Structure 1
Amino acid sequence: MASILTATSLPVDWHAHTTQAALAAAAGVVTHLGYFIRGEHHNNGIAIATFYLSLLPLLTFAQYQYLGIGLLTSAAQTGLWAAAYVVGLYTSMGIYRGVFHPLRKFDGPFLARFSNLYHSWMLVEKSDNYRLMTEWHEKYGDFVRTGPSNLSVNVPEAVKLVLGSGSKCVKSPWYDASLPLVNLHSTRDLKAHELRRKVFNKAFSPAALVEYEERITPLSNLFCEQIAAKRGSPVNATSWFKYFAFDAMGELGLGESFHMLDQEENRWVPDLLMAGMADIAQLQPIPWSTPIIHRLPFVGGGARNFAQFVIDQVEKRQKRGSKAQDILGFLLAAYEKSEKKDADYQWLRGDTRLTIVGGSDTTATSLTFIFYYLAKYPDQVRKLRAEFEPLLAASGKDHLDPKGVSKAVHLNGVIHESLRLNPPIPSGFPRVTPPEGLTIADTYIPGETTVVIPLRTMGRSEACYERATEFIPERWYSKPDMIKCKDAFAAFGVGPFSCIGRALSLVEMRNLIVKVLTRFDVALAPGEDGKEFMEGAKDHFIIEVSALQLVFTERKLV
């Protein structure tokens, strides 16, 4: 055994070792300049890691087998080469990113220019990227370098140029995080997106929305019955709006309510969703790590558990057939007409996941913020009632019809104002600039730069809105001068990738707001000032809010 380890004992040739180390370091530099800075490699993380991990024992064995060097000496020499290679690779990266990178002139945190790991590390404790972006923009200006090739841009002109229909920007590598799962939101292929959107258009047609509202109304009524049963006691409004939104999503999206409003059995589902989103969101700055993390058994459990939940919902829905009028029914109909290849099934799974996420938590969070403002500003409730009660009386219905919706300008203003201040996706949608680059507000951004527009930061910017941090719904109809740049509002996204479920989400919110305010007064619970609610929100790509204690009391009609 000792002979195998030591084998031939050769005199130490320090000159040869130095030369070999220099060559290994040079190889690291060449790898960086010739490969890693060219094109996208985020989906090759496992292949690259496997290659390097396999190369080390192969080099060690080759020295032992063909050069007669002992295993220990061979391993030590391989380790020297590996260390030199890594030093060369990362030295090249550091010098390039710090001195020669096209984004070198943009200001931002010093360490962020060298690695996206810095940005990711800053999110570990609080997961509050929306707040971090606001702090960085206040410190560094409208254009902030948040990573080696990443910029956050907080100027209103950027919305159309980066996200609009005519934009040449494309979705960033982060959208590949769920591969092989793919959906309408995550696909980076514009043609594939256009084809898939046609399937969703059937599910969100005007006729379908009318039918959906008829099915939403009983859920709104059930919500009110459950709140009435509390008899004016404080309730965790955050949870109850989640129960409503998830039941609506189950009914309209999956064809079967979760019955969270009247049963406790499935109330664990919202936490499962958020755990899955948290695992993905924290890796947004470092998309190359996602394929690796997802294969590690001791991390990423939330994402895996949520993925299995999605599979279970698809299988349950398949057993009932595709004829029912719900979103997944339309997706299943499209799947049945396809060749049913694995790629088709991944689309089905992916779009089911999108339906669950987009149709539940974002609506619930938006409702929670809206009722926070209504509880804080009672005059807004009086204005809303003065507006919608005559409209209900004129229509003879218990919810606003399309004609009534068009006249409910203050109701729509309340919703838009809350979304402006608290967009469901607060840190925006990452995009990559075209090869020729992009000019925004007289500032040239080089090509192949990942750009994001921090929507929450922009929504509270005085450059976009007068008295930007105040809740003033009238700015959306009677005081338009308070909106300095209409293009800055992008709570539902803009352009070809805007939210397909926007209309349905608005239907749900209007329906419940009218139902609740028709029957209840709303106020902050004793001891609740909203501070923790407003400041404790977490950014998991979609925002997660903490408990908000509200009191709903039956109206005393005179």
Structure 2
Amino acid sequence: MEVSLFAWLVSSKSSPIFLAAKETSILGSLFLAGLTTSILVYRAAFHRLNRFPGPFAARLSNMYPTMLSARKLQLYEEVDSLHKTYGDFVRVGPSELSINHPGAMTAIHSAQSRCSKGPWYNVLHPRVSLHMVRDKTEHARRRRVWDRGFSSKALRDYEPRVKKYTDQLLEHIEATKGMSINVTDWFNYYSFDVMGDLAFGKSFGMLASGTTHYFMKALHADMTNIGLFSHALWLFPLFKITPVLNAEHIKFWRWLGVQVDERKQMKPDRPDVFSWLLADHEAQQPITKQAEMDLVGDASLIVVAGSDTTAASLTALFFELALHKEEMKQVQEEVDQYFEQNPAADAHSLSKLSYLDAVINEALRLHPPVPSGVQRFTPPEGIQIGSVFVPGETIIQVPLHTAFRDERNFARPDEFVPERWTTKPELTINAVTYAPFSIGPYSCVGKQLGLMEMRYVAAEIVRKYDIALAPGQTPKAFLDGKRDTFTLALGPLNLLFTDRKV
């Protein structure tokens, strides 16, 4: 009886409950409609960034850059097109500017800049790895620990690992020479195995098995989501608390937690990057739950920052060398002379090979590992870039893909010309803009390790093999397969490695 009476009260259009629910729904809808309308009117007509040019849709919602990204995951190309249409300062969101100005890199990223990290860096909350720390004082404290982990002495300790995995990569190339090899996969296997060793004290075993490890699959899936929704950050908290949708996310971080717990129990005979982080972590007493989560975040960062970027850079480098036979011959000649004087490679002497570094620099310029650049937030008082004042509390980015191909910064900007870094410095007009590893206090702490890996692999491969695109592999297919997932993700690149013709 009570149940049927309640059902009648709810279902009857004349019942008090029904009428109250109806009025609440109408009032709520009117409120939301009014709020939405006022926000859109403000953004369209009165917003402080309205003097900056850009598509009208960008004024209204952050869904505009999200839709651009969703087209082909090539937001860097979309933004490049916007700069060609609208100029150096382009409004790409309600409170967001893309800035391609010759003075922007120094103004936004140098040690003297008053800009801070933008809200994108909350994406892993509640975990806060070094990369995600927005407070400058806290970042400086944690960065000092990482700097010790990547000091010159520490890098010498890591070098045998780099050599070990380079040898494993070369074994596979030797075993498959003359056959088509998807180097995108194998350079990923290489860089992930190196960084797995330095983070967790053990390889992921991908070079040995030739199969993709769970960590790599999960990470690339996660990075794809970040690439899609990095301009609609309000979606991430919803994603993290929604059952079913968050199942893989929870599984991934649980797996990482297990790896960190296992690494804590290890006493490695050789120091690794995690050794430095763990020592600092254990010195912080009492150890809080937040500190434990941050340690897991840092462990993930070791692998992510050192693997995705290195793998993409190696792949881009060998793509360019396969296309440019004269430059390939020059780097081979330099490497031949090097091995005539050095029976075995070592990181210190490899770093002195100027043409090898030039081809690496040029590959990084044409294919920056973070193509859209990184997000910054202007200080409350705003900043001046050239003759343009950018208001305070504005989200800004320097699009590296666009800046590195700007003829005001580099002559013949779309060409692969390693000599701009050696014998033809006049082709590099504004060297300050070239910052594939960023600059200032937030620059990549693992830069020298990444360069060590690239030099080792490049020197050993060009010493032994000639390189060409495999049958059916076209430059267009490779370039079309590039994806902007914060870090650069690459589709298949199939190459042939054959014994050098002397």
| Same fold, judged at TM 0.5 (above) | yes
Identity of aligned residues (%): 36
Deviation of 1:123 (Å): 2.0
Q: Structure 1 pair 458/305, CA: closer, same or farther in 2 (3 Å)?
A: farther
Moved more, 511-520 or 276-285: 276-285
Aligned: 1:462 with 2:467 = no
Moved more, 107-116 or 320-329: 320-329
- Number of equivalenced pairs: 496
1:231 and 1:552 map into 2 onto residues whose CA distance is 5
Aligned: 1:111 with 2:116 = no
1:297 and 1:484 map into 2 onto residues whose CA distance is 53
Summarize deviations over 1:329-367 as a string: whole Å, max 9, x none. Answer: 221122222221112112211111111101111101100
SS in 2 for 1:287: coil
Aligned to 1:360: 307
2:324 and 2:211 map into 1 onto residues whose CA distance is 35
How large is the RMSD of aligned CA atoms in angstroms? 1.8
The letter for the 1-side match of 2:476 is K
SS in 1 for 2:42: helix
Conserved? CA contact 1:182–1:350, under 8 Å: yes
1:117 and 1:309 map into 2 onto residues whose CA distance is 32
Aligned to 1:515: 460
Conserved? CA contact 2:157–2:270, under 8 Å: no
1:509 and 1:203 map into 2 onto residues whose CA distance is 19
Summarize deviations over 1:239-261 as a string: whole Å, max 9, x none. Answer: 11111111111222322111211
The letter for the 2-side match of 1:153 is I
Aligned to 1:39: none
Deviation of 1:307 (Å): 2.5
Summarize deviations over 1:376-427 as a string: whole Å, max 9, x none. Answer: 1121222112222222332x34214424522x11111111111111111110
Deviation of 1:328 (Å): 1.4
Identify the match of residue 253 of structure 1 among 160, 179, 199.
199
2:209 and 2:349 map into 1 onto residues whose CA distance is 35
Identify the match of residue 290 of structure 2 among 335, 338, 343.
343
Higher RCO (C-alpha 8 Å, min separation 6): 2
Conserved? CA contact 2:192–2:204, under 8 Å: yes
Aligned: 1:173 with 2:178 = no
Q: Structure 1 pair 321/162, CA: closer, same or farther in 2 (3 Å)?
A: same
Conserved? CA contact 2:13–2:19, under 8 Å: no
Q: Structure 1 pair 217/5, CA: closer, same or farther in 2 (3 Å)?
A: closer
2:329 and 2:187 map into 1 onto residues whose CA distance is 22
Conserved? CA contact 1:6–1:70, under 8 Å: no
Aligned to 1:263: 209
Summarize deviations over 1:67-106 as a string: whole Å, max 9, x none. Answer: xx71110011001110111111111101110111000111
2:479 and 2:260 map into 1 onto residues whose CA distance is 35
Identify the match of residue 4 of structure 1 among 9, 13, 35.
9
Alignment of 1:156-305 (within 5 A): 156-264=102-210, 266-300=212-246, 303-305=249-251
Aligned: 1:501 with 2:446 = yes
1:502 and 1:556 map into 2 onto residues whose CA distance is 34
Q: Structure 1 pair 5/240, CA: closer, same or farther in 2 (3 Å)?
A: closer
2:264 and 2:105 map into 1 onto residues whose CA distance is 40
Deviation of 1:301 (Å): 5.1
Aligned: 1:399 with 2:404 = no
1:392 and 1:469 map into 2 onto residues whose CA distance is 32
SS in 2 for 1:484: coil
Aligned to 1:478: 423
SS in 2 for 1:522: strand
Aligned to 1:27: none
Deviation of 1:151 (Å): 0.4
The letter for the 1-side match of 2:317 is I
The letter for the 2-side match of 1:271 is K
Alignment of 1:528-539 (within 5 A): 528-539=473-484
Q: Structure 1 pair 338/448, CA: closer, same or farther in 2 (3 Å)?
A: same
2:101 and 2:493 map into 1 onto residues whose CA distance is 32
The letter for the 1-side match of 2:397 is V
1:244 and 1:404 map into 2 onto residues whose CA distance is 19
Q: Structure 1 pair 467/7, CA: closer, same or farther in 2 (3 Å)?
A: closer
Alignment of 1:375-390 (within 5 A): 375-390=322-337
1:388 and 1:261 map into 2 onto residues whose CA distance is 25
The TM-score with structure 1 as length reference comes to 0.86
Conserved? CA contact 2:350–2:456, under 8 Å: no
The letter for the 1-side match of 2:205 is H
Identify the match of residue 447 of structure 1 among 388, 392, 408.
392
Conserved? CA contact 1:276–1:304, under 8 Å: no
Identify the match of residue 153 of structure 1 among 99, 104, 124.
99
1:162 and 1:170 map into 2 onto residues whose CA distance is 9
2:109 and 2:272 map into 1 onto residues whose CA distance is 29
SS in 1 for 2:374: coil
Structure 2, unmatched stretches of 5+, are none
The letter for the 1-side match of 2:362 is E
Conserved? CA contact 1:123–1:282, under 8 Å: yes
The letter for the 1-side match of 2:85 is K
Aligned to 1:308: 254
Alignment of 1:19-168 (within 5 A): 70-168=16-114
SS in 2 for 1:146: strand
Conserved? CA contact 1:240–1:261, under 8 Å: yes
Summarize deviations over 1:6-48 as a string: whole Å, max 9, x none. Answer: 8996xxxxxxxxxxxxxxxxxxxxxxxxxxxxxxxxxxxxxxx
Deviation of 1:457 (Å): 1.2
The letter for the 2-side match of 1:121 is M
2:255 and 2:451 map into 1 onto residues whose CA distance is 26
2:256 and 2:326 map into 1 onto residues whose CA distance is 42
The TM-score with structure 2 as length reference comes to 0.95
Radius of gyration: which is bigger?
Answer: 1
Structure 1, unmatched stretches of 5+, are 10-68
The letter for the 2-side match of 1:346 is M
Identify the match of residue 418 of structure 1 among 338, 356, 363.
363
Conserved? CA contact 2:478–2:491, under 8 Å: yes
SS in 1 for 2:207: coil
The letter for the 2-side match of 1:373 is E
SS in 1 for 2:468: strand
